[in-house]
Copies of this chain bind each other. A is one copy, B any other.
Amino acid sequence: MNKNFTRLLIGSGESSPEIRYLTGISTPDDFICFETPSGVTALMSKLEISRARSCAKPGVAVLPESDFGTSRQEIITGAAKIFNTNCFEVPPEFPLGLAEKLNASGIKLHVSESDFCPGRRSKDKQELQAVIDSQRAGEAGFSRAVKVLEEATISPDGLLIWNGETLTSEILRAEIDCTILKHNALPTGTICAGAKQSSQPHNQGSGPLYAHTPIVMDIFPRSSVSGYWGDLTRTVVKGKAPEIVKRAYEAVKEAREYAKSKIALNVSCASIHLAAESILEKHRFFTGTSDGEPFGFFHGLGHGVGLEIHESPRLSPRSKDILTGGEIFTVEPGVYYPEWGGIRLEDLIYLAPDGEVHCLTRAPDFLEIF
């Protein structure tokens, strides 16, 4: 933090990780928050003030915004007088329209050049436990999916049948997601993509599921209580897997394990990505573009997980991030080919400040389900 500035944020507790991190308050609508060296002040609407007071982090002052004005501009200029400043430090995401209005009222904004909440990257014990809780919710969802796939039968034309009807991505996703809900977490976009849909890493999956082709399940629940995420991917096949799918599965698993073995303090995130890539290439799973569509391993190896599902550090070839300890991040190599689909295997890692590497994922590794 630049000590010369009072810091100003605006956002909803649900969508702004910074504002949630600083205040502990989760709201559907935007609110205004100030940080000075002496503490954090959140200005709330009448609708939210009681609830905000009951869930704010210790030491956060919660005041009614109506004491300062009605529009966002009025509230901020009103508060500026209280803080005895006409200059605030803001995060890069601060809205330009409001910034221009504030400028016109004589308020100067200085965009923070470094991370606005650098403390977010290194997780404390409570944050680690919050991520683990969400991860367990996701794992319970995965176990449920495996049970459904075990119970499913294969029709003569290769369709999966469960509970007397065709098993679809939608049905399998609802089974996973209901399990997650019962673990006090929200499933927000669970991927259950079968066959060729699995060759698009972010395709959620729709329609009937088939035997003998990959089903990618990427499960990322967010705790309804803490707001912290978990993240887990496994790829399975109902029945016997084709040779190419088996080979890809083994290569991706080896890439994941090799990448994990490279994790240590002071290591560059780019080098961990490249380690995974080298294993995939060794197994002749190449990356490129065909007719404008990418194939192979064309996403980053991983990303930090916390109050955002994708946050710092980034594990990608161009990342400049260096591991310093305390980070929680995914290691999720994958290969994708439009001809037969995709394989992705994702573990969640905690690099302790002492350098010890903890895999937070307990879901087992297997390809075929009979």
Contact = CB atoms under 8 A, between A and B. Distances in A.
A51 B96 contact: no
Interface stretch (A41-49, A77-85, A207-215, A346-354): A41-49
A294 interface: yes
Interface residues of A, number: 56
B27 A202 contact: yes
A359 to B, nearest CB: 24
Contacts of A28: 189, 202, 309-310
Contacts of A173: 181
Contact of A97 (B51, B93, B318): B93
Contacts of A289: 46
A285 to B, nearest CB: 16
Contact of A202 (B51, B94, B178): B51
B111 A70 contact: no
Interface string A153-190: 00000000000000000100110011001101011110
A64 B294 CA distance: 10
A158 to B, nearest CB: 23
Contact of A94 (B49, B95, B184, B189): B95
Nearest to A189: B28
Sorted nearest first, the 8 A-B pairs with minimum C-beta distance are A92-B97, A178-B178, A94-B96, A46-B294, A47-B299, A51-B200, A46-B298, A97-B111
Given A97-B111, A170-B184, A186-B188, 14 more contacts: A15-B15, A46-B294, A47-B299, A49-B294, A50-B338, A51-B200, A64-B292, A92-B96, A92-B98, A93-B96, A100-B111, A173-B181, A178-B178, A186-B186
